[in-house]
Amino acid sequence: HDPYAYLNDVLERIPTQRASMINELLPHNWKFAGKV
């Protein structure tokens, strides 16, 4: 995995991520949702 892509994606998603779903943003659960 690319640490920069992970951090960039997570920082963009945090404001809209539901608190109950925040565990999806942890490194071992993260799935890139952006453009490839």
The pLDDT profile of the chain, 36 residues, written as one tens digit per residue, is 689 999 999 999 999 999 999 999 998 898 876 654
Q: What is residue 35's predicted lDDT score, i.e. its pLDDT? A: 56
Domain holding 5, by residue range, is 1-36
pTM, two decimal places: 0.70
Q: What is residue 31's predicted lDDT score, i.e. its pLDDT? A: 82
Q: What is residue 36's predicted lDDT score, i.e. its pLDDT? A: 47
Q: What is residue 30's predicted lDDT score, i.e. its pLDDT? A: 87
Kindly provide the b/e burial profile for residues 1-36, where b requires at least 16 CB atoms within 10 angstroms of the residue's own CB: eeeeeeeebbeebeeeeeeeeeeebeeeebeeeeee
Q: Which two tokens stand for residue 25?
A: 């943003």
User: How many folded domains does the chain comprise?
Assistant: 1
Q: What is residue 2's predicted lDDT score, i.e. its pLDDT? A: 86
**Helix/strand/coil percentages in the chain, nearest 5:** 60, 0, 40
